[in-house]
Chain A
Amino acid sequence: MNAHVTSCWHCGEPLPATDVVHAHIDGVQRSMCCHGCRAAAEWIEQLGLGDYYRLRTQGALKPAEDLQHHHAAWERFEVAQHVTRDLGDGRRETMLLIDGIRCAACVWLIERALCAAPGVTSVQVNAAAQRARVVWQEPTANLPQILHTLSRTGYRALPLDAQSLDDLRRRESRDALKRLLVAGFGMMQAMMYAAVLYLGGVDALEPATHELFRWLGFLVATPVVLYSAKPFFRGAVRSLRAHQLGMDVPVSLAIGLIYCASLVEALRGGAEVYFDSVSMFVFLLLAGRYLEMRARHRAGDLTDALARITPRFAQRQLADGKLERIGIHELRVGDRVHVSEGGIVPADGVLTNDSCRVDEALLSGESVPVSKQRGDLLIAGSVLVDGTAQLDLKRVGADTELAGIATLVGRAQAERPKLAQAGERAAARFVARVLSLTTLTIVGWSFVDPSRAFSAALAVLVVSCPCAFALAVPAAITRALSVLARRGVLVVKPDAVEALAGASHVVFDKTGTLTEPQLALANIETFDGVPRETALRLAASLARLSVHPAARAIAAAYDDTRFETVADMRSQAGLGISGTVGGRELRLGRADFAAPGVAGRDSSCDEAVVLADDAGPIAMFRLSERLRPNARAMIDTLQGLGLEVAIASGGAEAKVAEIATRLGVREWRARQLPTDKLAWLQALRANGARVIAIGDGVNDAPVLAGADVAIALGSGAELARATSDIVLAGERLDSLPEARAIACQALTILEQNQRWTLFYNLAAMPLAALGFVPPWLAAIGMSLSSLCVILNALRIGHRSATRDTAATVGAPPIASNVSAA
């Protein structure tokens, strides 16, 4: 039955031609691609959780090799204290960031696998944030065991700082939810009692019943004002202490005035009370704030990925030359650390051995590893590709470049969106004006008819609706963010929606943005009449043993399964690999390494690799980057939308020119250093252009920062994703034009909302000031104007939804996780 099985039962990747592993799962023989997958599948079966394979909708992440000895390091006291929290009675709690949660079945599997482990008392998995909160009983269970259980199940987990346990975000959102609910309940009840009063006005009510319903209204409005509206009062006090007139001041003044005036009216048996309006007022304002908070938290979850890329352990070299494995926060400046091949550099330091090659993709987005010589600075977070490294640490912990960027990112996230701030400032200005109009009304009526002054002033306060102002922006932005997320466009900074809609230029950082991140084999040139296939087979046999991008491209180009046996394989950092095939020593790599004297690179390709033996060169492989599918269509659409498209690349002139021609881009610049790119962007912006920069490297950090909107691809460097304003999930470049259309629509609707609120208020307020608006009409007007704003915001994404259904087929998995943003 395995004859036609082509993919691994566990991870779903294609099976290798040789070395297929088999296992009996649920009585059926299944094929797996590697021992890691087999171990995970057998372990899942052993736990009795084989249902996972039936429930899941996606293949699992290929399990990494089990690092049990690494897990043990979490037991060190200093480390454990850093990442876990004592709950008393020997119970401890930790927050794990879990890699590889791909669908609902993962959540199911993780919860069950961990709960089955002895000593684990509670597990909560949050798929959207990729986190799990685990509580266990010491000493029956411990952190290394939990990590081990997870890694056997096929998930890599990383304990986060203990601080993340008392998540500020969680407390904030719980608090807001409670206040919102109290306001909602109070509002509903108050409106019910008010309805009796309004109808009683038509159908004369007994005075005692009338009185009863007034006091009932007071009863339900009181918790709303005293509990739900507390954040407004607190904010007002805070800004008054700071001698500022923040937006909370006029809002709390209005709440307090309406509430107290209604109370006075109720006490002295006056004409009207407004307990229903004040409750609604508080509820709608809180709803606006809640929506905005959700958008902000969502952005935070997305960029927590930063925690994942910082290594947690380092190997410190002791005076006697021995290595000691310690937690990263135990490192001090001046320590000497050892990084082995494939390891992550734990802190910024100077290389003290001869040379090594590091992958700084994290910081630069460049997939090609960089060579470092003795004395060069290695940056925390970069991955060692070849060789080992000894570092003398120069900067540790919070001083490293990586931590600096992380802090910046965190700070940017805590800020409220500018649009929302502007919206709230508009609301505050508006309330201030309403308050002065109210005073005018009182003064005016006290000359005409002092008995009506109070009720007319109250009507002005109630009928004017800052709620619609306060809701206009958060409603539109939240809706836009969730519509975009469903299309695979994750907006990290809500401000970006505005900038995206207003942009006039798009600048692509060519490398990795318009092209596939992997190199591809462009052509093979053989020497001395060697058949192409033979050359490729020899090269691929060598190349498949290396992880260098060029080697991977050659191995990928060979679609046969017959490899030569390679003995005595050696890899020379930065030069190439060599090995013995059939008694002949072969070298594959840079021209000056494999066969000195052969001209290697030319300008038409990105990299050339030469295969040679002692007799001379056998073949030359030219590698180049491939255009991403859809790149051309996307650029045509963007140009159709009236945007100027340009390419700024660090690459060679001929190459950039070729790509620009193939894509129909007229404006391009080659051989650009980040400073050149920045200067160009600044020049563009000085001429009034609003620029979208699309890149996947953070060596372009200044460039991205210099643009109005920075967009990164989801498949790019993690740090690029963290520092950009918008992340395109997967490699869906084609969602960009659509995103712009949605952003434009959102802005239009936002403006409509604001104009509508202004119109309503200008129309209603003079009437109220003249005493023509009874309280029931004021309440209806206020709620209707807010409802209009929300319903209008829900239109965002509707128009394009029908047009673009074709484009959203096959949306990446992440979209389903975030669609409810």
Chain B
Amino acid sequence: MVQRYDAVVVGAGGAGLMAALQLAGHGNVAVLSKLYPTRSHTGAAQGGIGAALGNLEEDHWEWHMFDTVKGSDYLADQDAVEILCREAIETVYDLEHWGLPFSRTPEGKIAQRPFGGHTKEFGKAPVRRSCYAADRTGHMILQTCYQQCIKHNVHFYNEYHVLDVLIEQGRCAGVVAFCLATGEIHTFHSKAVLFASGGCGKMFRVSSNAHSLTGDGMAVVYRRGIPLEDMEFFQFHPTGIYKMGILLSEAARGEGAILRNKLNERFMERYAPTLLDLAPRDMVSRAIYREIREGRGIDGKNYVHLDMTHLGKEVLDEKLPDITEFARTYLGVEPLTQPVPIQPTAHYAMGGIPTDVEGRVVIDEKNTPLPGLYAAGEVACVSVHGANRLGTNSLVDILVFGRRSGRHAAKFIHENDWAPLGDQADSTARDAVSQVLNSTGKERAADIRDVLQDEMMDKASVFRDAQGLTTLREKLGELRERYKRVKSEDRGKSYNTELLEVIELGCLLDLAKVLVESALARVESRGGHYREDFPKRNDADWLKHTLAYQTSKGIELRFKPVVITKFQPMERKY
């Protein structure tokens, strides 16, 4: 079945909805989501969205920009970071105008609080920059953007899973998707396609990510010869609920919570004397791993405590109600009186599909755009987060670059016609589905995924080295072989979610391989990528972005210079 649209947006989280709102009224637009839009993972973001409104104290977008660049370990492209921090301000006001129920200051302005790595006067002290709605900011952003989409009659295809992107004569011609309800394969012939399908945290055992975050958008594009940028940089959030990985927002530490080891020491004093518990996430996660490794985990186990007991009932009830409830529900711990067991949790892919500041997908080190193809949000790499993202900046990113990409795509569909659709455009997607449904193999997806998640957690998470990564590379090869024999017991048409999980696992396996190859190549430590065998940052050789291409001979790595405008790389201390 072929349907024709001016533009198709893939994914209905913050970035996709923001893009769709820009496209609405400019043509015939469809938004495809493998979920119902309000189930998207933007809704799980908690602590806030960073913008230098200065509602509680002096603040400037230049300070926000400096913090973002320094937080990125100088790998972010500074032209993009400048746009991010300037446009953050108007974006937050737009959200307020659309009805987002921000928490308020006594004068009725948008409330703001401190967050990791956000400072005043270029690093002097923490600043209140994170605009929040209790600890449900992401939920409110997702709801508000979806409400605007209802108002503007945006057309959604819910529970459609994208299997392939169509590239014809150097242009994007559409996508092929699988309708979960019917099992039918649909071709969406489109002038522009905008991927906003989120991250791939489910390649790790302990993750804050939803089950659905399997990197589908990244994998689908990568298989069509488009590179993935900086995939070795994966953020581990310091405070995930022990074993489950459920996120406990940095807002807790923003409100004053303290990390403690088994000796009850505030160990961050040793690692970041100025910002302490509000140091950036990569540093805090490494500090926790070191404490555990040196025997100071609680009861000798692999977790430490997040202590909120001194914050008081009012702060927990009004400013951190959800995470307080998570601790009660999932751990049986009362945060008012007991410390909460936490461990770092796989949280965010800094890397992704390379784009320019208009959200256009670029395919080489010269930033050549692929006409008609766009990406925004976690699936993309602009790059505003470089080697480590600051808290609150993912919400800024999805909205600022969701909007910019949507606006550019709106212009594009006015000025361009459809690229011709090739013969049997859906054949790759059809083959992939029928291969699984007709498989005579005996492998279960869950068994392969278990090994993948455990191995990635063990060898490619907070600490890495050549030996572990090399072993991991071999292991991934074995898993790829096993995946060829994977089966689906469910061979039905309607809501075959087992088939979907098999397809998702294929994406994770491809992306894990890209991550490992990129991590092996980068023989330095920077931001979220820490090599124990190369513990120092090496700007002379490695101040550059990685581009990983799938070729017939395996993965080919190329490199792209970093855009540096205002801030020269310096040693990163907090």
- The judgment on whether A and B are partners is no
Which residues of A line the B interface, CB within 8 A? none
